[in-house]
Structure 1
Amino acid sequence: MSSMSKRRWQVLVLLSVGVVFSLVLGILAGSVRVPIWHLFDTELGKEALILRYIRLPRVLMGFLVGGALGISGAAVQSSLNNPLASPYTMGVSAGASLGVSLYFLTGFNFFSVGIPAVGFLFGMGTVLFVMAFAKRVDPFMQNQTVILAGMVFSLFVNGVLTVILALSKETLEKTVHWQMGSLGANGFSELRVFIPFLIVGTVGILRRSKELDVMAMGDEQALSMGVDVPKVKRRVLVYASLLTGSAVAFTGAIGFIDLVVVHVIRKLVGSNHRFLLPFSFLFGGSFLVLTDLFARTVLSPRELPVGAITALIGAPFFMWVFFNKRRR
């Protein structure tokens, strides 16, 4: 067994232990201490209700959302061959925020599915528009073109969003609260809606692992080896945006996980996507569960926005990656 294979097995064991540890700790810890055996109580007392219908769906949603952000970040970075690229670069968060602000402004009420549906549709629609624009400008969809189109359109959407928020104080308060990111409003009904999107996006990306291995070496190298780069890039970006858009729709804007997680895993197991993608999912899920646990317990009974905590961790990490890349 080679040293890299041995390391991958060690990382897999550590990640598996980390997943179990984060899930159990996320369920047990909180402002109210409840032993885990109450999770299996047949009589639904207060303790069983807290574990079964508040903490359990929250922790599961956190793990799945973190995993979705981790694997989508790995796919986007490889398809665009840029360590600073992410679904958020493509405008997912900006589009979803615009859709949610319009939802609040119009006063429509579609019950519990309103905000997730609007956030997902606008986030996904933004990415599709960016890809269509990039393809029209550059039929080969070179990495710089796609990233630049995403950044420019994100700035434009954020400008429109700022105008809307300036016109309505009520919309401003609601949108800013949503943008902070939170897992607290999710139950089993939201999980049932999110899981089909998660399965489709994850399977779609995993099926492209071999092409991503080649594309990570550059578009020219991939074309010379027979990979249809524009086609694969479009599909990977759509699947990654599907994962990120559906996650953002239910939890608000939780950024930087797709950046931090991928760099850590790539350092540990290398760039082979058979390992990078699933390991990024496991680490991303555990990372978000533990971050959310910190956000809701550090000032208990008050709760901090989990998106703010990930930003405090991710922003310095982003700067370190950027300046380290420039030095090299």
Structure 2
Amino acid sequence: MNKVRNLLILVILSLVVLCLGIKIGSVSIPLSDLVKILFNQTAGVDEMVTSIVKNVRLPRVLMAYLVGAGIAVSGTVMQSLLGNPLASTYTLGVSSGASLGAALIIITGVTVSFVGSLLLPATGFLFGLLTVLVVLVSTRSMDSQMSNQTVVLVGMIMTLFVGAILTMLTALYQDHLKQLVFWQMGSFSGSTWGKIQIYLPIALVSIFLLWANASSLDVLGLGEEQAMMAGVEVKKTKFRVILLSTLLAGSAVSFVGVIGFVDLVAPHVVRRFVGSTHRWLIIGSALLGGILMVVGDLISRTLLSPKEIPIGAVTALIGAPFFMYVYFRKRGQEG
């Protein structure tokens, strides 16, 4: 019952945070007007206020929540799959790889008619998947046991390497400087209903399929041998989970740029309240990830208003100290 109660608290917090994200900004929206607009009862409401809510605030806040939920779930299953509390789509290079894929599409201006607007998220997914596969293969070649420290180290090296390539592209292609910097710093300012229509089904289907693999993830957390003894097809399950988690994170990065650490922080916090059973953990991580991202975006656009702080900087300021705390606590426990 405690787990259900805690999840209900997260649901309520989600609704509160979503409303605050829509209400607060350079133009403060009266609560009464906000309720009328959300229920499509706009009689007597200023047209400008209605336009701000429907065309700017609402898609931005919803996109932030969906992206936060997606990358938090992705980080959750990555940590469980690799048995590594420091593993995440950011530390394993998925985010930087997806950003590189998006950057190449921007620079080359490539378009594929039958793919249309799905080209960017598809490219982000493929490059993100390629990056994490390189990390895992490289780790296995150096350390057959694939220890936590080696996985994180190789992932961070790959992130830095891909980041260096992105920096070179930024320097070489000045005409696309603004767009390339956007991907590297992260922002929800360009969120539209069109982007939500693409990412929403990706997020919902991927999270549901990962949730459907919850029991397999629970068993994998005990080790590969125990999982095989329990009848889990380890290789197929690992491949499926990596594919879905990379799709979640890679497509998100393609839309909003690199945003790190939410996928590291959310799972650790949620485990304290709902435990390590993935049936609850995946749902809780999605809810908390969405909450954290909306709060982070709210800070990024209001702290120095009218200037906007990149959302990636806000999450890094919170997440980097948390990363160090988890790492050194783990080292202390092992020592």
* Normalised-by-shorter TM-score class: 0.7 to 0.9
Q: How far apart are 1:146 and its partner, in Å? A: 6.8
Distance in 2 between residues matched to 1:175 and 1:219, nearest whole Å: 41
Correspondent of 1:182 among 180, 187, 192: 187
Q: Show the counterpart of 1:55.
A: 57
Q: Distance in 2 between matches of 1:48 and 1:42?
A: 7
- Give the conservation status (yes or no) of the 8 Å contact 2:206–2:245: yes
**1:235-274 alignment, distance < 5 Å:** 235-274=240-279
1:195-250 Cα distance to aligned partner (Å, 9 max, x none): 12112211220111001111112222222322222211111010000111111111
Q: Determine the C-alpha separation between the residues in 1 that align with 2:2 and 2:313.
A: 33
| Contact 1:92 1:126 survives alignment (8 Å) | yes
Alpha-carbon shift at residue 154 of structure 1 (Å):
4.0
Gaps of 5+ in 1: 1-5
Residue 309 of structure 1 aligns with an amino acid whose one-letter code is V
3-state secondary structure, aligned to 2:90 = helix
Q: CA deviation at 1:254?
A: 0.9
What does residue 314 of structure 2 align with? 309
Tell me how far apart the structure 1 counterparts of residues 145 and 239 of structure 2 sit (CA, whole Å): 11
Instruction: Give 3-state SS (helix, strand or coil) of 1:185's partner.
Output: coil
In the alignment, what sits opposite 2:222? 217
In angstroms, what is the RMSD of aligned CA positions?
Answer: 2.9
Residues 62 and 183 of structure 1 are in contact (CA less than 8 Å); yes or no, is this contact kept in structure 2?
yes
Structure 1 residues 185 and 173: alpha-carbon distance in aligned structure 2, compared to 1, 3 A threshold: closer
Contact kept? 1:117, 1:249, Cα under 8 Å: no
Partners of 1:54 and 1:34 in 2: how far apart?
12
Tell me which residue corresponds to 2:95.
Answer: 93
Amino acid paired to 1:212: L
TM-score with structure 2 setting the length: 0.86
Alignment of 1:125-140 (within 5 A): 125-128=127-130, 130-131=132-133, 134=136
CA offsets 1:93-116 (integer angstroms, 9 cap, x no match): 2222222332343355789x9897
* Structure 2 counterparts to residues 29-68 of structure 1, below 5 A: 29-35=24-30, 36-39=34-37, 40-42=40-42, 45-68=47-70
8 Å contact kept, 1:93–1:123: no
Please say which of residues 102-111 and 280-289 is displaced more in the overlay.
Answer: 102-111
- Please name the residue that 1:3 is paired with: none
Distance in 2 between residues matched to 1:233 and 1:323, nearest whole Å: 28
Distance (whole Å) between structure 2 residues aligned to residue 272 and residue 195 of structure 1: 25
Q: Unpaired runs of 5+ in structure 2? A: none
CA distance in 2 between counterparts of 1:239 and 1:221 reads 23
Distance 1:222 1:312 in 2: 38
Give the direction of change, closer, same or farther, for the CA distance of 1:299–1:153 in structure 2 (3 Å limit): closer
Shift of 1:149: 6.3
Supply the distance in 2 between the matched residues of 1:110 and 1:295 (Cα, whole angstroms): 34
Q: Which amino acid aligns with 2:25?
A: G
Structure-1-length-normalised TM-score: 0.87
Residue 160, structure 1, aligned to residue 155, structure 2: no
- Structure 2 counterpart of 1:7, from 2, 18, 22: 2
Q: Please give the residue correspondences for 1:17-36 in structure 2 after superposition, counting only pairs within 5 Å.
A: 17-35=12-30, 36=34
What are the equivalent positions in structure 2 for 1:102-113 lying under 5 Å apart?
102-107=104-109
* Correspondence 1:16 to 2:16: no
CA distance, structure 1, for counterparts of residue 139 and residue 96 of structure 2: 22
Cα 1:231–1:15 change in 2 (3 A) is same
Confirm or deny: 8 A CA contact 2:74 2:246 kept in the other structure.
Answer: yes
**Identity, % of aligned positions:** 43
**Closer, same or farther: CA 66–122 of 1 in aligned 2, 3 Å:** closer
1:252-303, CA deviations, whole angstroms, 9 ceiling, x for partnerless residues? 1111000000000011211011110001101111111111111111122221
| 3-state SS in 1 of match to 2:191 | coil
